[in-house]
Amino acid sequence: MGRVKHPSGIAWTSTKSEPTPKWDWPGYLAHEAIPEEEAEAIASIHEVIDLTGLVVLDLGCGRGACLNAAKDYGVRKVIGVDQSPYALDAAKRLLDRSDLPYVLCEDEATKVGLPDACADIVWSHGVVEHFKKSELEPYFAEAIRLAGRYVAFSAPNPDSGVYREFRQMRLQEGTWKWGYEEPLSSYATYLRKAGCSVIIDAPICKGAHYGYFKQLPEERQRHWRSRIVAGDEPGIYTLVVAVVPDSFGGEE
């Protein structure tokens, strides 16, 4: 496994040889509360773009937690796309309780059978880090095709020491189940190359640190708590939001 050194001294361990992730969607659905980082990610997008009245599409929606969180910001309709029928079944159960108009569909190798510009904004949370670099351009191209106005992507921040240590612990224990994961510090370059105008590219989800470091040994929890309180630890996720080409004349 390849290792990359970071300023904190904690190495990023490559998972290129890890098996395909095995999701336990019914078990994941049992956690009724929306994971904090998902709610924070949607709140961060809303700070940049007013989601009120928009149609939003989650390209890799999982159990639909981000779409469910979007209802708090007055979205008009949500569309969920995922490769896993188990994920879509879990999303249906969650969204059935939301009183929010929704459509769910299964994608086919990032070629979604939906019309161009079918949503105002296309996003994903915790998805792009599972793509190899050679796979990112087709994924972003499909997202841009589906988006009428904006795209937004959030992924783990490889510069977050909390996340790196949590991930390293899981790999050493043999309990890492998310397969290949190589997040980048920024995805803005890919979006600019595709003709998008980037609005924001920054770390987010500082509150979500606690969901990760509370699983670490007690002495490490004390270490990270002090760094977080001191403001010395970046957000555990990164977010990039962009205007798609030919939208609003290409202006930010």
- Most confident range (mean pLDDT) of 154-163, 169-178, 222-231 is 154-163
Q: Is residue 160 part of a domain?
A: yes
Q: Is residue 252 part of a domain?
A: no
- pTM equals 0.86
**What does the alpha-carbon distance between residue 239 and residue 218 come to, in Å, rounded to a whole number?**
30
Q: Is residue 251 part of a domain?
A: no
Reply yes or no on whether the pLDDT at 249 is more than 90.
no
Q: Is residue 207 part of a domain?
A: yes
Domain of 123, in residue numbers: 3-244
How many other C-beta atoms can be found within 10 angstroms of the C-beta atom of residue 11? 14
The CATH number of whichever domain residue 138 belongs to comes to: 3.40.50.150
Q: Is residue 250 part of a domain?
A: no
Name the token pair of 118: 């079918």
pLDDT band at 228 (very low <50, low <70, confident <90, very high): confident
Helix (H, G, I), strand (E, B) or coil at 70: helix
Q: Is residue 15 part of a domain?
A: yes
Which segment of 8-17, 34-43, 71-80, 215-224 scores lowest on mean pLDDT?
8-17
Sign, Cα dihedral of 140, 143, 149, 150: negative
Cβ-Cβ contacts under 8 Å for 42 (sequence gap 6 or more): 51, 66, 69, 70, 72, 73, 125
Name the token pair of 176: 């890492």
- Kindly state the greatest CA–CA separation across the chain: 53
Sheet holding 102-106, edge to edge: 102-106, 77-82, 55-59, 119-125, 147-156, 237-243, 197-204
The CA angle 140-40-133, to the nearest 5 degrees, is: 25
pLDDT band at 252 (very low <50, low <70, confident <90, very high): very low
The CA angle 11-138-180, to the nearest 5 degrees, is: 30
Reply yes or no on whether the pLDDT at 109 is more than 60.
no
CB distance 15 to 175 below 8 Å:
no
Number of domains within the chain: 1
Q: Is residue 204 part of a domain?
A: yes
Q: Is residue 145 part of a domain?
A: yes
pLDDT band at 187 (very low <50, low <70, confident <90, very high): very high
How many other C-beta atoms can be found within 10 angstroms of the C-beta atom of residue 85? 11
Give residue 131's region: left, alpha or beta (phi > 0; psi -120 to 50): beta
Sign, Cα dihedral of 194, 196, 164, 124: negative
pLDDT of residue 250: 42
